[in-house]
Amino acid sequence: MQQANILVVDDEPDLQVLIRQKFRNKIKSKEYEFQFAKNGEEALEKLLGDVSIALILTDINMPVMDGLTLLTKIGDLNNRLLRSIIVSAYGDMENIRTAMNRGAFDFITKPIDLNDLAITIEKSLKEIEEYKLVLSAHNKLIALKQELDIATTIQTSILPKTFPPFPDRLEFDIYAKMIPAKEVGGDLYDFFLIDKNRLGIVIGDVSGKGIAAALLMAVCKTLMKSTALKGLPTDTVLYDVNNVIHKESPSNMFVTIFYGILDLRNGMFEYSNGGHNLPILISSGGKTKMLENVGGVILGAMGETEYESNRIKLCSNEMLFFYTDGITEAFNKSEEEFDEKQLLKIVENKNEYSAQNLVEFVIQSVKSFSDGTEQTDDITCLAIKYLKS
């Protein structure tokens, strides 16, 4: 336990001798350190000069500055964890009440019972230590909230938010949205023109939560786009990005990534899946099915891992719906899960929806299903509709 620094404020010199004698063992063992002042003014100077003083034992009636005035001055010292014990004449309840109203923690009466004083000091110091623990926990919570706020800002600031993103391109309709959870994760999405005929689409989810996940998410998004813009096949992009993440990221952090390239001339969609939730194809007739799971393992788990790719052809007005597990692992109050079967069902016959309407419809369906249950993971959706006939 840290040495307790106690300031005794009293104009009676005999009190110093009594206190030093009573607490000689604690002084010798460096549990207590006592300082002395003859009045409130001198005490205030010592307080301003020594921030380690935590407990004040002060008389009320003193020359120059009395104890009640000193209590008022102490209250003006911002950011100081101080506790005060008032010494007052027996029966002087009016001054005692005034002292307590001005912030005194406890009081003892004259003539001072040194055993009672020892108990009161010990109780006061214990309260100070407990308050320090509470204050420390409070500060940690504030720091954690700030960290989560930073993570949320990182997530939301680098994701595309302008829709429609390519107003002059009539071959497709695309929309995406992420709703961060209170505990921030690392969802990501992106889309970009690789060239005038090909559109790259990325969705992913970093393991873990907090600012570390948000930072890795930002790194993954940047890596994916910079690698994809080289025009490489989807499996090669995942292979290259995986090698970088495996070498550079912490060993306990991974990311699931689904990457696809839509050829805007003919609707050919090439993709490779790195352990992510499979997108849903909504046919022009409204039927739904998951894409075939072709690709490889989650990114960051092991280096030099080969990935495979697959191709499908989108017809006019067919849609692809991408999502993260914040959708399919949402729970309601009965602890039931909004699983992939429900998702497949609710997007049936929604091929006439716009991309934005589909995303908003799914998110609202999940919220209705959850019925007020707290969201524990980011919810991210992306929909694209091929429009070229």
Residues 343 and 294 in one domain: yes
Average pLDDT over residues 315-319: 96
Dump pLDDT digits (tens) for 322-360.
999 999 999 999 999 999 999 999 999 999 999 999 999
Average pLDDT over residues 318-324: 98
Residues 284 and 328 in one domain: yes
Residues 114 and 201 in one domain: no
Q: Which domain holds residue 87?
A: 4-137
Q: Tell which wins on pLDDT, 212 or 6.
A: 6
Residues 233 and 368 in one domain: yes
Q: What is the C-alpha separation between 351 and 349, in angstroms, rounded?
A: 6
Q: What is the C-alpha separation between 241 and 134, in angstroms, rounded?
A: 45
Within a domain: 143: no
Within a domain: 83: yes
Domain count of the fold of the chain: 2
pLDDT at 389: 67
Using a pLDDT cut of 90, give the percent of the chain over it.
Answer: 49
Residues 199 and 335 in one domain: yes
Dump pLDDT digits (tens) for 25-36.
888 888 888 889
Within a domain: 221: yes
Residues 122 and 205 in one domain: no
Dump pLDDT digits (tens) for 206-228.
987 777 788 888 889 999 999 99
pLDDT at 149: 76
Average pLDDT over residues 299-322: 96
Give the pLDDT band of residue 19 (cuts 50, 70, 90).
confident
Mean pLDDT taken over the chain = 88
- 182 and 377 in contact (C-beta within 8 Å)? no
pLDDT at 298: 96
Within a domain: 60: yes
Residues 121 and 228 in one domain: no
Strand 4-9 relative to strand 32-37, pairing: parallel
pLDDT at 292: 98
Residues 187 and 323 in one domain: yes
Give the pLDDT band of residue 285 (cuts 50, 70, 90).
very high
pLDDT at 110: 80
Q: Tell which wins on pLDDT, 202 or 108.
A: 202
Give the pLDDT band of residue 310 (cuts 50, 70, 90).
very high
- 307 and 232 in contact (C-beta within 8 Å)? no
Within a domain: 153: no
For the cut 80, the answer to whether the pLDDT of residue 95 exceeds it is no
CATH number of the CATH domain containing 122: 3.40.50.2300
Average pLDDT over residues 245-260: 89
